[in-house]
Amino acid sequence: QVQLVESGGGLVQPGGSLRLSCAASTSIFSSSAMAWFRQVPGKQRELVASITGSGWTNYADSVKGRITISRDNGKRTLYLEMKSLKPEDTAVYYCNGDPWKRSNGEYAYWGQGTQVAVSS
């Protein structure tokens, strides 16, 4: 069963912008903390930004000031607005959240992700 569907990735030039979306199939989306992660081949997946159910946000130092996480609880959708993109932002981006988080902190499910490529 598909539970998280990421979209919006693509190829963009340095300095460009993208808006990623994540449609979540969970009835408890509005009260759940959610997050965006990214992964480059050969490297560990890293946390990019997170948002609580009440809207508090947190960002990795590498993206502060350039990326904004937001959510639309009515649409059960998570967003990642990315501006001033850099080549080092190139990665597959994934969303995830508390409904899929195990007690040990690992996530039981990952969507297919969306590829972001920043290149001239």
CB atoms within 10 A of CB 18: 21
Asked if residue 109 has pLDDT above 80, the reply is yes
User: Which helix or strand (DSSP H or E) is residue 88 part of?
Assistant: none
Asked if residue 36 has pLDDT above 80, the reply is yes
- So what's the pLDDT on residue 1? 75
Asked if residue 86 has pLDDT above 80, the reply is yes
Asked if residue 18 has pLDDT above 90, the reply is yes
Q: 3-state class of 12 per DSSP? A: strand
Asked if residue 114 has pLDDT above 80, the reply is yes
Instruction: Find out whether 23 and 3 touch, Cβ atoms under 8 Å.
Output: no
Confidence class for position 6, pLDDT limits 50, 70, 90: very high
> Model confidence over 59-69: pLDDT tens digits?
999 999 999 99
Residue percentage of the chain with pLDDT more than 70: 100
- So what's the pLDDT on residue 2? 75
First to last CA, the chain: 37
